[in-house]
Amino acid sequence: MTVSVADAAVGTTPRMPRPVISLRNVFKQYRMGDTDVHALRGISLEIGRGDFVGIMGASGSGKSTLMNIVGCLDVPTRGHFWLDGVDVRTLDDDDLARIRNRKIGFVFQSFNLLPRMSALANVELPLVYAGVRPNDRRARATRALEAVGLGERMDHYPSELSGGQQQRAAVARAIVTNPALVLADEPTGNLDTESSLDVMSVFADLHSQGRTVVLITHEEDIAGYTGRVVKLRDGQIVDDYEQDPAEARGTHVAHAEAGRAGESL
């Protein structure tokens, strides 16, 4: 960061931008039958504005619980969580619903598009809930669909779109409110390889435009699109590192090709 002459002259420090996600010593415990399940065990994590982060872990690692907390779908048992500067502990259910609508764009493994509505109408839905006027929401939904390459398919219904196109429509719905965070939970889980790469290129484009993207995945090649990987095991962070996405993807491709060559011997 460059310090201006004026700042240096008065001995002040430039103000750092606040993180979009800030978790401090977060625990999550719940009851399953007669057993206490410790899903998260003291998670501390910051994600800055414009970051593209992959969160990885095997089944039972705590990544889904962490996603639910970051997405304001659940609250910690203990600890602190701020989303875009808002202390989530202070919010009631109505406040949580509003913050989910305005500050978080969700993308799920199952596209969750309403089958009897066009792609455009599906993308407009968050704006309807936010009380945006019809003309404005149509214009914003159109721009969002154009941004993910579906400008010519916006009047089509989900059944008339491929799996990759449906997921791109879901991405458009996630970004139409201009949220502080795009949160994607296994977004390529229901897609073939070609469609997965297509959808991940959309997320890479969103990141290049300065959007904050957090991606939950168990696939190394999908995490290879991100600039930072956080790995969970037994409810704790066991690794947190930055990477060059192009280099990471190249490594995964090389490993896959080597594996195929070995199988052919």
Domain presence at residue 8: no
DSSP letter string, 209-234: TT--EEEEES-HHHHTTSSEEEEEET
The reply to whether 59 falls in a domain is yes
For the stretch 169-217, pLDDT in tens is 999 999 999 999 999 999 998 899 999 999 999 999 999 999 999 999 9
- Residues 72-121 have pLDDT tens digits of 999 999 999 999 999 998 889 999 988 998 899 999 988 899 999 999 99
Reported as a pLDDT band with limits 50, 70 and 90, residue 60 is confident
Identify whether 10 is part of a domain. Answer: no
Give the residue numbers spanning the domain of 118: 18-264
Specify if 13 maps to a domain. Answer: no
pLDDT, position 9 = 42
Q: CA angle 171-73-84, nearest 5°?
A: 70
**Is 176 a domain residue?**
yes
Asked if the structure places residue 7 within a domain, the reply is: no
From the list 206, 250, 200, 208, the residue with the least C-alpha distance to 225 is 200
Residue 33: per-residue pLDDT: 84
Q: Rounded distance, CA 15 to CA 180, Å?
A: 19
Which tokens go with 259?
Answer: 């594996």
Please report, for residues 37, 49, 78, 80, 103, the alpha-carbon distance to residue 33 in angstroms, rounded to integers and kept in the order given: 10, 40, 21, 27, 35
Q: What is the pLDDT of residues 114-156, one digit of tens each?
A: 999 999 999 999 999 888 999 999 999 999 999 999 999 999 9
pLDDT attached to residue 19:
92
Q: CATH no. for residue 239?
A: 3.40.50.300
Helix (H) or strand (E) holding 181: strand 181-185
Average of per-residue pLDDT values in the chain: 88
**71 within domain boundaries:** yes
Q: What pLDDT, on a 0 to 100 scale, did the predictor assign at position 90? A: 87
**How many domains, in total, are found in the chain?**
1
What pLDDT is attached to residue 66? 95
CB 167 within 8 A of CB 111: yes
DSSP-derived 3-state class of residue 196: helix
For residue 18, the model assigns a pLDDT of 82
